[in-house]
């Protein structure tokens, strides 16, 4: 088994093993809660170790930050292969619709452009639904789509209708394929750093000193792949996602090479 030092990580792996056992024993499709990037990386390592092949991560769309792990038995292998190759599969489509739904909120004219992601998330959290039962929230000017586990969809829809801020809004539960996606917008930035240590990256992208970057890490203001990271020497790699509180969200797009001063040159995407 992969080395696991944290109790929470041990629980994640234990639950994964339970899900795999249920799928194989009962010959059925099963799923986890929504998983952030860090949890998916941890689970992916264990799936690789176990040589498990019959699974997909799904969050409603390719770039989703939160995805559920769907594990399927051998009898559905060909159906999932069709789906992954972009072909229709009613079995997979029905399975996904039984696992994940979306809540569509359409705002009245007077509220268009008034609400941000944090407004929708805070509304959802009022009703005691734990964060890992909620997927991504896709915000448009005239409303939002909240991806949610099917088991919570009707409850959340009815609860949102009771809030004063959404009293005049249209709120419905829809199939995941009916979501209207919003293009991901980002600013491309190039930085040069002395090494791929996390403190160097935070310093370079934030344009602050190394000591200030160390302070941000010490005060738990940096997350790496959805996990708070305090270790300055942690190495970053391509496709890592970092959030620096007060400075934004970034994806390490590409290590270009070294400049004449011997520093690493990186292309960074800053989410807008």
Architecture of domain 100-178: 2-Layer Sandwich (3.30)
Q: Which of 125, 67, 139 is nearest to 96 (CA)?
A: 67
- DSSP label at residue 65: S
Comma-separated ranges of CATH 3.30.1370.160 domains in the chain: 7-98
Q: Within 10 A of 205 (CB to CB), how many other CB atoms are there?
A: 21
What lies within 8 Å, CB to CB, of 104 at 6+ separation is: 143, 144, 145, 170, 171, 172, 173, 174, 178, 179
Comma-separated ranges of CATH 3.30.70.330 domains in the chain: 100-178
Kindly give the pairing relationship between strand 170-174 and strand 143-149: unpaired
Q: Within 10 A of 49 (CB to CB), how many other CB atoms are there?
A: 11
> What is the CB-side half-sphere exposure of residue 61 using CA atoms within 13 A?
20
pTM: 0.80
Cross-strand bridge partners of residue 170: 106
**Residue 66 and residue 59: Cα distance in Å, rounded?**
6
Architecture of domain 186-271: Roll (3.10)
Distance of alpha carbon 19 from the chain centroid: 20
Distance of alpha carbon 264 from the chain centroid: 28
> What is the CB-side half-sphere exposure of residue 70 using CA atoms within 13 A?
23
What lies within 8 Å, CB to CB, of 181 at 6+ separation is: 61, 138
**Residue 103 and residue 156: Cα distance in Å, rounded?**
8
Instruction: Report the chain's C-alpha Rg in angstroms.
Output: 21
3-state SS, one letter per residue, for 217-233: HHCCCEEECCEECCCCC
- The helix/strand/coil state of 33 is strand
What are the angstrom distances between the C-alpha of 219 and each of 37, 212, 215? 21, 11, 6
Architecture of domain 7-98: 2-Layer Sandwich (3.30)
pLDDT in tens, the chain (272 residues): 334 457 788 899 999 999 999 999 999 999 999 999 889 989 999 999 999 999 999 999 988 999 999 999 999 999 999 988 888 889 999 999 999 999 999 999 999 999 999 999 999 999 988 889 999 999 999 999 999 999 999 999 999 999 999 999 999 999 999 999 988 788 999 999 999 999 999 999 999 999 999 999 999 999 998 888 999 999 999 999 999 988 999 999 999 999 988 999 999 999 87
SS3 content of the chain, % helix, strand, coil (to 5): 40, 30, 30
Is residue 132 within 8 Å of residue 34, measured between CB atoms?
yes
pLDDT of residue 2: 37
pLDDT of residue 1: 34
Q: Is the dihedral angle over the CA atoms 165, 168, 169, 172 positive or is it negative? A: positive
């Amino acid at each position: 088994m992969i080395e696991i030092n944290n109790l929470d990580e041990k629980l994640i792996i234990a639950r994964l093993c339970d899900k795999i056992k249920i799928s194989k024993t009962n010959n059925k499709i099963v799923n986890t809660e929504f998983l952030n990037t860090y949890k998916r990386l941890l689970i992916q390592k264990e799936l690789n170790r176990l040589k498990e092949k019959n699974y997909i991560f799904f969050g409603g769309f390719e770039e989703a930050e939160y995805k559920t792990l769907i594990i399927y038995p051998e009898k559905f292998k060909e159906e999932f292969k069709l789906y992954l190759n972009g072909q229709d599969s009613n079995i997979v489509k029905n399975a996904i619709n039984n696992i994940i739904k979306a809540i569509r909120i359409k705002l009245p004219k007077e509220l268009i452009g008034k609400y941000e992601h944090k407004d929708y998330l805070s509304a959802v959290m009022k009703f005691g639904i734990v964060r890992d039962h909620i997927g991504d929230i896709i915000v448009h000017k005239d409303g939002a789509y909240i991806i949610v586990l099917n088991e919570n969809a009707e409850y959340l829809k009815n609860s949102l209708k009771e809030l004063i801020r959404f009293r005049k809004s249209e709120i419905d539960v829809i199939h995941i394929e009916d979501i209207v996606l919003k293009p991901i917008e980002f600013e491309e930035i190039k930085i040069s750093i002395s090494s791929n240590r996390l403190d160097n990256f935070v310093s370079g992208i934030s344009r602050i000193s190394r000591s200030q970057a160390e302070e941000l890490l010490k005060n738990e203001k940096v997350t790496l792949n959805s996990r708070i990271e305090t270790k300055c020497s942690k190495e970053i790699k391509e496709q890592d996602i970092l959030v620096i509180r007060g400075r934004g969200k970034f994806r390490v797009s590409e290590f270009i090479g070294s400049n004449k001063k011997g520093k690493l040159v990186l292309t960074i995407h800053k989410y807008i």
